[in-house]
Structure 1
Amino acid sequence: MNRSRGLTGWIAAGLVILTTTLWTFWGVMEMYYEGWWAPLPFPLIYLAPAAICLLLTLAALTWPRLGGWLLLAGGGAFTVWWWSGAARAGQLTLRGALSMFPISGILVLIGALFLHEARTRQRRLAAGWEPPAQWGRRHLRILLALGFPLLVIVGASIYWLPRLLTRLDDGDRGARLIAGNGVTLVWAPEGPGWGRGSDPQHPFGAPLPGAILSWNALARYGVPPVGLGAKSGNGDATTSDMSVTGLCRYLDTAGFTLRDEPQNIWRMPTTEELVRSLVRHGENAGCVWNGNAERATCAVEPDKETPLWAPDWSPIYYWSADAYDSREAYYVGYTGAVSHQPKSWGNPRHGYRCVREP
């Protein structure tokens, strides 16, 4: 009888522990994959959602009524914020909403279950029920709530840290000749031809000037008035715009200055050129892309290393010169991922690097 009455509590505990574990998995993987460019403690910010969820979990397991209300309020507010943001960006889909439900909307359900557990526990205590005498059994749910996220952190660290701690960075941010795998190009030096992203000296990684550049902004740089300001006209830029009025076309020979007139020396690399230039430990990774897959096929898995990438800069993707369709454009990640997103969207993770013929 007591076991059946406690079933709601175990279901609530299992779901909230699962949610916390999923947030921990997301946070630690993103910390290593995306956030490892900046010095500590900045990368730890990726663990903030998991930490908040863990605190809510511990509160709910200790004080079901208080924790239930916190989960209801916090889960509801987060779900509304997340889904409304996706809707404003035109990216709210049924698939996206369902994929986010286990770490957003489900918190509302869990909160309701904990409120039910609080009422059930109160009745059980009034009927003479007592918690288990053994410390381990009495705190089993809390131990599980701490243990599963810890296992995720340890597992992710075992996978990522050997790779990150041996990541190659020769410190050279000048123009680089990268040859191999059927592609030979000079890649732009540090400056306006190479998007740097966020400032590692800022405690929250504030974007550097010109860091958040959309594909549209890059492609329409030369549309009067020349520069990165607002442009006239409707709709998104095209591949032709990128090749004619793209920012790279205005870069001087040395790659340090943007001119008022097109120089037609530098250009944006194609998706295929980016893929074939990916590197690992100073060598070409031997990657090829069939034009459709979401990931290139590589002889060795590439990494965020010189000479193609700057390991201590925030970009983990480079825009390519290619449009996916009328609304989206391709980008390539340092691990060989190939994807596309709206041309009007940009953030410090999406950089660019101009190229020219040797």
Structure 2
Amino acid sequence: MSAPTASVHTSDKSKKVYRWRIVGNVAVVLLVAVTTLWAYWGMAEMYYEGWWGEWTNRLPYLIPGTAFLLLSLLIIRWPRLGGWLLILLGGGFTAFYWSVQFSRWGFNWEAFLSMFPVSGLLVLLGVCFVLAGSAQRHYPQVQTPSSAGRWAFVQRNWRYLLAVGLPLLVAIVVSAINVPIILARVDDGDRGAQLVIGNGVTLVWAPAGPGWGRGMLRADQKNFNQPGAVLSWNEIALYGRPPIGVGDKPGFVGLACDSSTDAGCATQVDMAATGLCRYLSADGLQLQNEPQDIWRMPTVDEMVRSLARHGANSGCTWDGKTDSAECAITPDKEPPLWDPDSSAVYYWAADEYNLVEAYYINYNGNAVHSQPKSFGNARHGYRCVREPE
């Protein structure tokens, strides 16, 4: 009577292991999907905003995808160890991200759903890997029937093949789309003042210098290694408010601009009255202590109509409502409007979206968006303009 009992017991163990193995395999597929998303984001952003200056500027964009790839391989080999690591990393990132999200913008479902795959989902996947690995460890004698012949290798290693192959395929496709565009860029190296004849608008754009973001860093950013402005719209608009310069102003505190009450936020009137461009010298190379009233910030419409590619105007227009421009030819990050060697891929506009946000555009016209006026980083630059003589 003992043999049938042992057989039933073994069968129950096999079913339990198989169930957890299925759970583990599903978790592997989901983790590979997360890795692939990071690979796509990293490669696309590297070509979009990281392709400037030294080659080391590209590396940060490759870190998330590479880290998840290595983590995936670790989990496939040691599911329990990797599962616990995933729980710790996912839990830590979730706590960090949502603490920042709640403190700045509060909770919203759009942010929750967009970030869940790279935050809370990681914790759930980690739990699945730990449980699946524990089941396999408790019943190591239960084996999965294997195929013979040419499919044996694939059956044994399909998780590794999927974990490496799918992100690699995405990286190849993204590169195939973007590399030809980058290699075709035309750069004459001229960073002087440029007369740009656009689509129904003609303006002179400021040369490299304070009117084009060069050297305009706050005191706390003196060691910030970026060849562009790191100024917020707020700081640009309040430049001429005493004391003249970049920094704290009476009634305003540097970058501070309360998005919930609009306290400390500059306005479009401030941009016209005390904006940095108003203090730019005639040659565009120096900032003066008194308003010169030669240069100003361009509007969204003027920037959109000035976008170009290979020296030819792209025929772009903006209807004032949508979040992108309509262009006959897709513009690119090229002179005379853009500096391919600068970190800036967006330019602030003179226009404000509302009391707490202002408009900016990107170099290919795909983004006519708004950001908090207090937002400033190396990817958001500006460039002053004046009327031609």
Structure 1 length as normaliser, TM-score? Answer: 0.94
Q: Does 1:349 align with 2:379?
A: yes
1:163 to 181, 184, 206: 181
Contact 2:228–2:344 at 8 Å: present in 1 too? no
Q: Does 1:49 align with 2:64?
A: yes
TM-fit CA distance, 1:87:
2.8
Q: Does 1:272 align with 2:301?
A: yes
1:35 to 40, 50, 56: 50
1:296 to 301, 325, 337: 325
Q: Name the SS for the 2:377 alignment partner.
A: coil
Residues 161 and 198 (structure 1 numbering): CA distance in 2 closer, same or farther, change over 3 Å? farther
Contact 2:227–2:342 at 8 Å: present in 1 too? no
Q: Distance in 1 between matches of 2:244 and 2:23?
A: 63
Moved over 6 A (4+): 130-133
TM-fit CA distance, 1:55:
1.3
Q: Once the two structures are superposed, what CA deviation does each residue of 1:204-246 show, in whole Å capped at 9, x if it has no partner? A: x944487210000000000000000101114201101001100
- The amino acid across from 2:232 in the alignment is S
Q: Distance in 2 between matches of 1:147 and 1:271?
A: 42
- The amino acid across from 1:10 in the alignment is N
Q: Distance in 1 between matches of 2:287 and 2:166?
A: 52
> Unpaired runs of 5+ in structure 1?
200-204
1:154 to 156, 165, 172: 172
Q: How many residues were matched structurally?
A: 353
Q: Distance in 2 between matches of 1:31 and 1:208?
A: 16
Query: What is the match of residue 68 of structure 1?
Result: 83
Q: Distance in 1 between matches of 2:285 and 2:239?
A: 16
Residues 355 and 157 (structure 1 numbering): CA distance in 2 closer, same or farther, change over 3 Å? same
Q: How does 1:83-122 map to 2 (within 5 A)?
A: 83-90=98-105, 92-122=107-137
Query: What is the match of residue 238 of structure 2?
Result: 220
Residues 263 and 310 (structure 1 numbering): CA distance in 2 closer, same or farther, change over 3 Å? same
Q: Distance in 1 between matches of 2:227 and 2:59?
A: 24
- The amino acid across from 2:92 in the alignment is A
TM-fit CA distance, 1:37:
1.0
TM-fit CA distance, 1:52:
1.0
Query: What is the match of residue 22 of structure 1?
Result: 37
- Pick the structure with greater CA Rg: 2
Residues 319 and 66 (structure 1 numbering): CA distance in 2 closer, same or farther, change over 3 Å? same
Q: How does 1:122-141 map to 2 (within 5 A)?
A: 122-127=137-142, 134-141=152-159
Cα RMSD over matched residues?
A: 2.0
Q: Distance in 1 between matches of 2:309 and 2:228?
A: 28
Q: Once the two structures are superposed, what CA deviation does each residue of 1:48-101 show, in whole Å capped at 9, x if it has no partner? A: 011111111111111000000000000111112222223333265221121011
Q: Name the SS for the 2:185 alignment partner.
A: coil
Residues 10 and 280 (structure 1 numbering): CA distance in 2 closer, same or farther, change over 3 Å? same
Q: Distance in 2 between matches of 1:198 and 1:114?
A: 50
Residues 196 and 87 (structure 1 numbering): CA distance in 2 closer, same or farther, change over 3 Å? farther
Contact 1:197–1:349 at 8 Å: present in 2 too? no
- The amino acid across from 1:29 in the alignment is A
Q: Distance in 2 between matches of 1:232 and 1:75?
A: 42
TM-fit CA distance, 1:196:
4.2
TM-fit CA distance, 1:198:
11
- The amino acid across from 1:339 in the alignment is H
Q: Does 1:229 align with 2:247?
A: yes
Q: Name the SS for the 1:26 alignment partner.
A: helix
Q: Once the two structures are superposed, what CA deviation does each residue of 1:266-299 show, in whole Å capped at 9, x if it has no partner? A: 0000010010000111111100000010100000
Residues 208 and 54 (structure 1 numbering): CA distance in 2 closer, same or farther, change over 3 Å? closer
Residues 182 and 128 (structure 1 numbering): CA distance in 2 closer, same or farther, change over 3 Å? closer
Residues 132 and 79 (structure 1 numbering): CA distance in 2 closer, same or farther, change over 3 Å? farther
Query: What is the match of residue 267 of structure 2?
Result: 238
Q: Distance in 2 between matches of 1:105 and 1:196?
A: 41
Q: Distance in 2 between matches of 1:294 and 1:175?
A: 29
- The amino acid across from 1:160 in the alignment is N
Contact 2:295–2:386 at 8 Å: present in 1 too? yes
Q: Does 1:184 align with 2:214?
A: no
